[in-house]
Structure formats: C-alpha cells, structure tokens
Amino acid sequence: MKTKTKALFALLCAAGMLTPLAAQAGEVRHREIRQENRIYQGVQYGTLTTQEYDRLQADEARLNDLRARDLHSGGGLSRAEYRQLNADENRLSHQIYRTKHDGPDH
C-alpha cells in the first residue's frame, strides 16, 4: 500500500509541475494571436505598408516555428524556453508598435 501511495504522490507532484508549463504555453500562444491581430489591424487602418506587413508576419512565423519546436522537443516549454519566447515576443511587440506609429513618411 505504501508503494502505491508513494507512486500516486510522485505522479501528482509531476502533474503539478507540468501544469504551469502547459499554462505558459497557452499564454504564449494567446499572445501570438493578439500580436497577429495587431498586425492585421495595422494593415486594415493603413498604418502598415505591404512591406512592413510582410516583415512582421515573417518575424511572427519565425516565433511560431520556434514555439512549436520547443513544445514538441519533449514535455512542453522549459522555463528557459518560456523566458526566451517571452523576450522574443516583447521585441516583436515593440517592433509592431514602432512600425505602426512611424508616421506617414515610412
């Protein structure tokens, strides 16, 4: 009985550690979707040129590929992978803002 209890405890502890990583992966994905929407809005309102749109979409696609690779490399996102993706998303977010607000003389 003690062996089963220890095994169950170990399983619950492992599940408890993986849940935050899964939540982080979902958080990163939702952020990517929001940023893609910001890019689309920039095109819709005329604040992004076609070239700017293409460059931002390429950067977003690169991050999507990186996220997918990290998720499938074994058990979800590690803390280091999450931090790196978050930093990359921060850079892209600032780039989207700067590009959308660079004025009429692109």
List pLDDT tens digits, range 91-104: 999 999 999 998 76
Residue 19 has pLDDT above 50, yes or no: no
Q: What is the mean pLDDT of residues 15-33?
A: 62
Q: Which residues are CB-contacts of 49 (< 8 A; sequence separation ≥ 6)?
A: 106
**Cβ atoms of residues 56 and 85 within 8 Å:** no
> What is the C-alpha separation between 83 and 13, in angstroms, rounded?
23
Q: pTM (2 decimals)? A: 0.68
User: Does residue 15 belong to any structural domain of this protein?
Assistant: no
Residues present in the chain in total: 106
Q: Residue 72: which domain range?
A: 22-100
Please tell me the least confidently modeled range out of 14-18, 31-35, 79-83, 102-106. Answer: 14-18
pLDDT bucket at 76, cuts 50 / 70 / 90: confident
d(CA 27, CA 85): 11
- Number of domains the chain is built from: 1
DSSP state of 77: -
Average pLDDT over the chain, rounded to an integer = 79
- Asked whether residue 12 is assigned to any structural domain, the reply reads no
